[in-house]
Structure 1
């Protein structure tokens, strides 16, 4: 388990779907954005393409729970969560931009 994956524990959800997010940091995991060319059969995307995500929001962005969003809308929510998570990871000292 990477330091980024471990860092998700206890963090607030960065996807924050209104009416869905359980706001419970005890359920937070790293939800990976599946960007073409970075993942595939037996290959997960890199952890820096992940968002700190509560279990409820994770179910929606992964398509396990349907709340009427299109795939594009779910992708956008997850991408925004990845960007917010990148900011937090830099503040935590887990990634560095030069």
Structure 2
């Protein structure tokens, strides 16, 4: 018999203002060769790791996200391959840079 560690499920932080703020924003992930460069296609892209609260089908906390167009988000989520000449590791770095830009933008807009 193996020991099993059970972690209590934590509440996920949700903030509709953050998600709604993506409307008409520019994509801040900016994957060359994938980005649509269309503010109408920008969404709030959630972080994919457990450190941000992701668990199974549960999305990460709303603070753990970035303004990303649907194409950049699809590459980050693994639904589309990385653009030619980019590794997935470089996609993740671009997403994190977009996350930092997005947090700064959220603060400038008074959302957080």
Fold shared, TM-score > 0.5 on shorter chain:
yes
Q: Structure 1 segments of 4 or more deviating over 4 A?
A: none
Q: Unpaired segments of 5 or more residues in structure 2?
A: 1-14
Give the alignment's TM-score, normalised by structure 2: 0.76
- Equivalent residues, number: 95
Name 2:12's counterpart in structure 1.
none
- The root-mean-square deviation of aligned C-alpha atoms, in Å, is 1.5
Give yes or no for contact 1:61–1:77 (8 Å, CA) kept in 2.
Answer: no
Q: For the residues of structure 1 that align with 2:25 and 2:40, how far apart are their CA atoms?
A: 8
Give the alignment's TM-score, normalised by structure 1: 0.86
Larger Rg: 2
Matched, 1:56 2:56: no
Q: Unpaired segments of 5 or more residues in structure 1?
A: none
Describe the superposition over 1:2-52 as per-residue Cα deviations: whole angstroms up to 9, x where unpaired: 100000010000001112211100011011112224111232111111111
The verdict on how the C-alpha distance between 1:91 and 1:28 changes in structure 2, with shifts beyond 3 A counting, is same
